[in-house]
Every structure is written in structure tokens, then in C-alpha cells.
Amino acid sequence: MVKLDAAALYDPGKQRVVNEDRAWSQIYMASEGEPVGLFVVCDGIGGHMGGDCASQWALETIKRELREIFCPFDPRGTKELSRSELDAAVRGSSSTRLSNVRKLERQVRRAVERANLVVYEYAQQRPEKANDSGTTITLALVSGERSVVANVGDSRTYLLRDGRLRQITQDHSLVANLVTSGQIKPEEVFTHPQRNLIYRSLGYKAELHVDTFVQAIQPGDYLLLCSDGLWEMVRDEQKMAQIILDSPSTEQACRSLVDAANEAGGEDNIGVVVVKIT
């Protein structure tokens, strides 16, 4: 049985006054069965406090939409995914595991779609306060030895295994597409004049496509969720991996990663979650 330990931290950086990033970590440890964890990073977009509002609305909506996963024995109403189903997702037959993981994927996708509508509708109703507001999001819902990862925009989720950091998500940005098509080299992402242009985010349209990924996890792994305020400043993935591995706790890992981003310039807000699997 795996165990989870995690911490979250968001910091304004050195060049911004308003912190539009949000980071969240929640773990449910039942007396029986596998632990469940929800980990989220949002990076707000938009002027006049719009991004600050959008990231907070999105985070609170995700927490509300997925809250039943953390109280599976609550007798009020029926639940989409019971504790037995969650356990079956990691211990049952291959067909049962696939079926229940797909349920988790749908649940996560609906939660993000709902968060998108909340941001979009509020911006439509209050244009003077929230015009042009939006937010990126990446989240990981961990149940036992499986994680469902989702993202919209260029906030990322990584898997750290055997000393190597690997990006699970795919950036929804112009420069990412240019790298994929071979028009620029990966290292040019950081200097391209349109490096901040993303083509998908929460809040701009009523309909949204959410990317989801299923990632198996095992003892010794880490998950790293972060906004571009971290990965654009600390460009060496091996350095990020080493910071996590050298830290005595997930809290210190988050602090050291934020410090590294600020030491590199701190040009943007920094949101980070570190999850340790044992």
C-alpha cells in the first residue's frame, strides 16, 4: 500500500505585486484502503485582478466538484465513485481497474469543465471586474497506485522517478507546437518573443477541451506540479529533480524550488506542489 505526503506553496516572485497563482494539496487517509490525494496548481491570466480572481474561482470549484472523493462514506446522497470502486481501481482485475480509472478521468474532466464555466460566466456577468480573466490549471488526483492528471494551458505536472524528471502534461502554447513541429529547438522556448502565448485556458470560452493522462505511480516516485513561474526560471529539469531529492521534506522542497526560481529572476508568480509517494 502506497502512502502520500505533499506540500503546496505559491509565491508572487520578485517582479509582480499581485499573486495570481494558486496551489493546493489535500490527502485523505482512510483507516482501510488506499490513500486519495488531490493536488492543483492554477496560474491566473488577465489584468485588473482578473487573473487573481480566476485562479481562485477555478481552485474552489475543483475542490467543491471533487469533495465527495474525500468523504466516500457520507450517507447524504449517492456517490459517483465509492470507496470500494476506488480500491478496485488499483487492486481489482485489469478490466475493473480500467473501468474505474476511466470513471475517475471523467470525474476530473467534468470538474475542470465546471471550473471553466464558473470563470467564464462570472467574467461575462461582471466585465468591469473580471474582463479578460482566465487561468491555466494542472491537477493530479491520486488513488492508490494510479494518478489521473489533467491540464489546460502551460502549467505542468511532472513525474520524478529514478532521479529523472519527466513531463506528463503537454503545454497548450504556441512555442510547444513549434517545438513539436520542428520549427524551433526546445531551448528556444525560453527566448521566443511569443513564449507566453497560450491557446487554451479556463474562462475564455464556454466549451473547453481538457487533456487527461493516467500515470501509474510507485514507492520512491514524486509528482511535481508547477506554473510556468517555476519551469521558465529553473530551466534545468535535472536541477529541479535534485532540489526535490535533496530536500528533507515536501515543504522544504517547495520552498527550495520557489527560492531557486526567485534566484533566477523571479519574473512571474510561482505555484508549486510536491507529492512524495512511499
User: Residue 98: how many CB atoms within 10 A of its CB?
Assistant: 13
- Annotated domain spans of the chain: 4-277
Task: Say whether 82 sits in a helix, a strand or coil.
Answer: coil
Reported as type and span, the H/E element at residue 182 is none
Residues paired with 100 in a beta bridge: none
Residues paired with 214 in a beta bridge: 148
**In this predicted structure, what is the pLDDT of residue 216?**
96
**In this predicted structure, what is the pLDDT of residue 221?**
98
**In this predicted structure, what is the pLDDT of residue 176?**
87
User: Residue 271: how many CB atoms within 10 A of its CB?
Assistant: 32
H-assigned helices in the chain: 50-65, 83-91, 94-125, 127-130, 174-180, 228-231, 237-246, 250-263
Residue written as grid cell 492543483: 40
**In this predicted structure, what is the pLDDT of residue 73?**
46
Q: Of 188, 200, 83, whose CA–CA distance to 150 is shortest?
A: 200
Q: Is domain 4-277 annotated with CATH 3.60.40.10?
A: yes
**In this predicted structure, what is the pLDDT of residue 185?**
87
pLDDT (tens place) for every residue of the chain, 278 residues total: 899 999 999 999 999 988 999 999 999 987 677 889 999 999 998 754 578 889 999 999 999 999 988 765 444 444 455 555 555 555 555 555 566 888 999 999 999 999 999 999 887 877 666 667 899 999 999 998 999 999 999 999 999 999 999 999 999 998 888 988 899 988 888 888 888 889 999 998 999 999 999 999 999 999 999 999 999 999 999 999 999 999 999 999 999 999 999 999 999 999 999 999 99
Residue 166, C-beta contacts closer than 8 angstroms, at least 6 positions apart: 158, 159, 160
CA separation for the pair 43, 23 (Å, rounded): 9
Q: What is the DSSP letter of 246?
A: H
